[in-house]
Amino acid sequence: MNKTTQQQKIRRISTPDGPPIFLLDDFEDSHANNSFNNDSTDLNHDCFQIQKHEFHLMDASRFVVKGISAIIDDEVTKRFEHEELKTWNLLTRTNAKNYQFMSRSLGLYWSIGFLIRYTILFPLRILFTCVGFSWLLCTMFLVGLLPRRFREKPYRLFSLMSFRMLSCGITSRLEFHNPQYRAQKGDICVANHTSPLDVVLLACDNCYALVGQRHGGLLGIMEAALSRATNHVWFDRGEMRDRQLVTQRLREHVNGKYNLPVLIFPEGTCINNSAVMMFRKGSFETTDRVCPVSIKYDARFGDPFWNSSKQSYVQYLLLMMSSWAIKCDVKYLKPMERLEGETSAEFANRVKAEIARQGGLVDLAWDGQLKRTAAKVVWKYQQQEDYVNRLKLE
């Protein structure tokens, strides 16, 4: 067929359960001119000849490279496991290669460290933790008996005392930077999330109204005690009604200028402090101003990441109390405001990027809930559509 008398047109065919399919149609000029003048049903004639694309191995090379790269170094799922250390810190839990048996001197150092951690540090930390936890339960109960208008100052005093005693139970070494940007009454404070210790360490320097997942066990007892003294919001992640209630309570809290600042972890799950994952936009729909906080731990002295799918909270606490220490840098960042015409998702991404930059963390767009759920089917369809778009039709 002569190229001058042949026209080509790409059709986009939508599929109900997958990505669209692009077809290249060849037809005669004379018939093409008539088809635009006739009824649309005339397009169903057998005048179209679909030109097929011959598959080449190069078509799949990009996806092979991506698959091999994911096997070698997956940038997402490794954020849900303990971060790999460049050097061994003499802790058994990071001793994947049996370092203490490599030499007598290294084995001696490990033995001495083991004795120090479990015979001196561990008993003292158990004592501090029990005293701090008991003090928290008793004082929050007493504060809850006071009239609501008289609770603010006693709550602030006893809260700071309790959480500082609890931080001694893990031998925390804290450094707070830029205290002039500390969240004030009525503000919403957002931070990256590594473990429940984030709350303990931040509460050593300021008082917050907490928003978080409802837990059972030891954490549940602490949540109930704190709720007696001031307003906190606990929700069940799987309940839609709870999520709507959280949004409503946040709006009410922001409108009160004398309420405690709200502490929120928009990632919604614990990440191993090597990256910051997607911030959920719901936290940014209720306000145009947030106070970001960047939390960065030094894993050489003790890895604070809590893998809740493998450890209970009590097991996690025992690991923290048997570590060398928990060293943490907390950076209060300058309050950020929503730009004109900026959506909640764009605002959340901008805040996330700034927290990652200040903390020296990797900024990832992936959802942290991938730790609990399988990848969405729509993401597979996006990859398929991308593949179709890259095919060269000749």
The chain-wide mean pLDDT, for the chain, equals 80
Could you tell me if 8 and 26 are in contact, meaning their C-beta atoms sit under 8 angstroms apart?
yes
- 310 vs 9, higher pLDDT: 310
Looking at the structure, do residues 16 and 125 belong to the same domain, yes or no? Answer: no
Query: Which of 270, 276, 264, 214 has the alpha carbon at shortest distance from 242?
Result: 214
Cα 296 to chain center, whole Å? 14
Q: What is the pLDDT of residue 125?
A: 94
Mean pLDDT (whole number) for 111-125: 93
Looking at the structure, do residues 128 and 15 belong to the same domain, yes or no? Answer: no
Question: Is it the case that residue 207 has pLDDT exceeding 90?
Answer: yes
SS3 215: coil
Question: Is it the case that residue 30 has pLDDT exceeding 60?
Answer: no
- 162 vs 255, higher pLDDT: 162
Within a domain: 370:
no
Looking at the structure, do residues 29 and 169 belong to the same domain, yes or no? Answer: no
Residues 6+ apart with CB under 8 A from 173: 301, 325, 326, 327, 328
Within a domain: 281:
yes
Looking at the structure, do residues 103 and 61 belong to the same domain, yes or no? Answer: no
How many folded domains does the chain comprise?
2
Convert the pLDDT of each residue in 376-392 to its tens digit. Answer: 677 667 777 777 776 65
Looking at the structure, do residues 359 and 231 belong to the same domain, yes or no? Answer: yes
Within a domain: 357:
yes
Could you tell me if 143 and 154 are in contact, meaning their C-beta atoms sit under 8 angstroms apart?
yes
* Residue 69 pLDDT level (bands cut at 50, 70, 90): low
* Domain extent at residue 48: 3-71
Looking at the structure, do residues 261 and 121 belong to the same domain, yes or no? Answer: yes
Question: Is it the case that residue 49 has pLDDT exceeding 50?
Answer: no
Looking at the structure, do residues 24 and 139 belong to the same domain, yes or no? Answer: no
Convert the pLDDT of each residue in 73-109 to its tens digit. Answer: 677 888 888 887 877 788 877 766 666 667 788 888 8
Looking at the structure, do residues 67 and 191 belong to the same domain, yes or no? Answer: no
Within a domain: 355:
yes
Q: What is the pLDDT of residue 127?
A: 94
Convert the pLDDT of each residue in 354-374 to its tens digit. Answer: 999 999 999 998 888 777 776
* Residue 281 pLDDT level (bands cut at 50, 70, 90): confident
Q: What is the pLDDT of residue 54?
A: 62
Phi first, then psi, for residue 340 (nearest 5°) are: -65, 130
* Residue 282 pLDDT level (bands cut at 50, 70, 90): confident
pTM score of the predicted model: 0.76
Q: What is the pLDDT of residue 3?
A: 44
* Poorest-pLDDT segment among 250-254, 336-340, 390-394: 390-394
Question: Is it the case that residue 248 has pLDDT exceeding 60?
Answer: yes
Q: What is the pLDDT of residue 92?
A: 74
The residue type of 10 is I
Question: Is it the case that residue 27 has pLDDT exceeding 80?
Answer: no
Looking at the structure, do residues 53 and 152 belong to the same domain, yes or no? Answer: no
Within a domain: 381:
no
Q: What is the pLDDT of residue 375?
A: 65
CA distance from start to end of the chain = 15
Within a domain: 294:
yes
Q: What is the pLDDT of residue 97?
A: 64
Looking at the structure, do residues 48 and 102 belong to the same domain, yes or no? Answer: no
Looking at the structure, do residues 103 and 210 belong to the same domain, yes or no? Answer: yes
Looking at the structure, do residues 51 and 101 belong to the same domain, yes or no? Answer: no
Mean pLDDT (whole number) for 42-58: 53
Within a domain: 78:
no
Of the residues 71, 105, 126, the one at which a domain ends: 71
> Six-digit token pair at 171?
């031998």
Q: What is the pLDDT of residue 99?
A: 65
Distances (CA, A) of 362 to 68, 234, 385: 21, 29, 28
Within a domain: 126:
yes
